[in-house]
Amino acid sequence: MGCFVRLSIEQNQSAQKALSQRWEFGVNLEQCAAKIRNYVIDISSNSHRGSLELGQRLTFIFMMETYRVRLTEGDEQTGPLLSIDLCVAPTASTSEELDWVAKYHRAKKTRLSSYVKQNPNHPELNDLYFSFSTSADSLNKSQLRRIINSMRQIAHDFRHAHNVQFTGLVAPRPTNEDDLDVDSRQGIAKYYKADEDDSNEHLSSEYDVIHEVRNLSTEEILAELDKLIGLEDVKKEIRQIVAAQRVAVRRREMFMRGEQLSPHLVFVGNPGTGKTTVARLLGELYSSIGLLKRGHVVETERSGLVGAYIGSSAIKTRRICKLALDGVLFIDEAYTLINEESEKDYGPEAVATLLTFMENNRGRVALVIAGYPDEMNKLLRSNPGLRSRFDNTVIFDDYDDKELEEIFLEMVAKNDYELSPEAYVAVSNYIQALPNPRPYCFANGREMRKLLNEVVKNQAVYVLNNFDLATATEEQLRLIPGESVPPALVWKSTEHKDNGRNWF
C-alpha cells in the first residue's frame, strides 16, 4: 500500500513538472513568435501574410524572393525552432526526383534541405523549396537577415548552375505576389518596379546580387585563388595587396603611424577573364584579415546606379552603397557610367555620389570597378577625384591556348561528359585556330562555354540518331564523339587593342 501511494505521488509530481515545463515553453514560444514577427515586419515592410502560431506559416517577400517562416516547439535544449523556407522555382520534379538537388547541396555544403510542394492540378508548377532551421531563442534581426541573404545567394547560384545543365528545368520566380492579398501587394510596391511605371525606380532591388562570406581563413581563400586557371600576374598582385593590408591592419592595432592604404581597386581586361570571381574572393580576403567587418560582395552595374531623371541616380547609388557597407561594391562595366555622347546622361551624378560615399565611409567599404582597358582609362580621367582614390590596378590578361583548353576540360568534367580521343584533338584544333593575339572584346572563358554548349547540342543529336534513348547506357550519354565538335572558326581580322598596362 505504501509503495502504491509513493508511486502515485511521484507520478503526480512528474505530471505537474511536465505541465509547468509546457506552460513555460508556451510562453517562450509566444515571445519568440512576437520577436520573429517584428523582425519580418522590419525586413519586409508590408509584404507579409500569415501568422506564427503553431502549424502556421508567415510568408514575406525580401529582395525579389518569397520566404516562409514557421515556429515549432523543439526540445528543452534547443528551445523553439525557426524554419525558414525559400521558394526557389516552379519545377516538374517530384519529391522522389530530387537527387540532383541533394547532390548540389552536398557538393556546395549549403546546410540546406530541399522539398517540393506538390501542385496536383499543374504538376509542372510544383514549388521547389530550400529550407533552413535554427534556434529561435538567440536569433537576432541581423542574423535573420544574413541567413535569408545567404539562402537567396545559394538559390541564385543553384538556378544558374542547373539552368546551364538543364535548360528550362529551373526558372527564377521574381515574386509570389498572387499569394498575397491586396494590402500586401500595395506594401511591396516600394520594392518592385512595374515595367510601365518608373515612379519607384530608385528603390528597385532588381539588380542586387549579394555574395556572403563563408568564414574561411586567409590561407584557405588564397588557396582557392591559386586553384584558378591562369591569372598568374593577378594572383601575384592580389597577394601583394593582401600582404600590405594585413601589415597595415596590424600596425593600426599597435597605434603606429603611417599612410592608410586604399582598399579600392580597378580591374581591367576582356570579358571572361575571371574579374567577378576574383572580386568575390577579395571580399572574403578583406574580411579574413580584419579590413572589412563583413566582407560580403554586392554586384551591380549601370542599371543599378543610374536613374532616368535628375536626382534619381543619387538615390539609387546611395541605396546600393549602403547595401555594400562593411563589404565590397563591385561595379562591372563601370565605364558605362559615363556617356560623353549624351548631354542628358545622369551617370556623372552616380559617380559623384560614389565619391562622396567612399570619402564619408573610409574603412567601411571597398569599391572595385571593372571594364575594358581604354574605356576604364576614360572613366578615371572623367572625374579628377576618381583617379586619386584608386591606388591599385589589376590587369587581367587574356588566356592562352593551353589555359583555354584547361578551362574547357574542366567544364566538360563538371557537366559529366567525357571527350573521345578524336574529340580531344578536334577541341585542341578549334582552340589553336583562335586568333592570337586575342582581338578586342575576346570572350575568353565565355568562348569555351559557348563551344561546350554547341558540343552538347551536337552530342545530343548524335545520341538520338545512334541509340535508343530508353536503353542508352551512361557511357553512351557521357561520351562526346569527334563529330560533335564544330570545325574551327575563321575569325575576321579585328584590330588588336593594347591591354592597357601602359595606362595604369
| pTM of this structure | 0.56
Residues 456, 461, 462, 463, Cα dihedral to 10°: 90
Angle between helices 421-432 and 445-466 (to 10 degrees): 150
Angle between helices 401-414 and 421-432 (to 10 degrees): 140
Q: Residue 149, SS3?
A: helix
Compute the distance between CA of residue 504 and CA of residue 266 in angstroms, rounded to an integer: 9
Q: Note the pLDDT of residue 21.
A: 44
Q: Note the pLDDT of residue 125.
A: 67
Of the candidates 177, 175, 171, 210, the one whose C-alpha atom is nearest the C-alpha of residue 65 is: 175
Q: Note the pLDDT of residue 406.
A: 92
Instruction: State in words which class domain 193-396 has.
Output: alpha beta
* Cα-based distances in Å from 217 to 120, 213, 294, 310, 326: 47, 11, 14, 44, 18
Q: Note the pLDDT of residue 95.
A: 64
Q: What is the DSSP string of 7-49?
A: HHHHHHHHHHHHHHHHHHHHHHHHHHHHHHHHHHHHHHTT-EE
At residue 122, φ and ψ (nearest 5 deg) are -135, 85
Residue reference for cell 546606379: 305
Q: Note the pLDDT of residue 23.
A: 39
Instruction: Give yes or no for a contact between 36 and 139, defined as CB atoms under 8 angstroms apart.
Output: yes
Q: Note the pLDDT of residue 177.
A: 40
CA angle 308, 265, 270 (to 5 degrees): 75
Q: Where are the domains of the chain?
A: 18-187, 193-396, 401-484
Instruction: State in words which class domain 18-187 has.
Output: alpha beta
- How remote is the C-alpha of 285 from its chain's centroid? 17
Of the candidates 183, 187, 156, 176, the one whose C-alpha atom is nearest the C-alpha of residue 43 is: 187
Compute the distance between CA of residue 57 and CA of residue 454 in angstroms, rounded to an integer: 45
Q: Note the pLDDT of residue 46.
A: 66
CA angle 147, 151, 154 (to 5 degrees): 140
Q: Note the pLDDT of residue 426.
A: 92
pLDDT lower than 50: segments of the chain: 1-9, 15-25, 164, 166-169, 171-207, 493-496, 503
At residue 170, φ and ψ (nearest 5 deg) are -125, 125
User: 401-484 has which CATH code?
Assistant: 1.10.8.60
Which one-letter DSSP state was computed for residue 484? G
- How remote is the C-alpha of 352 from its chain's centroid? 27
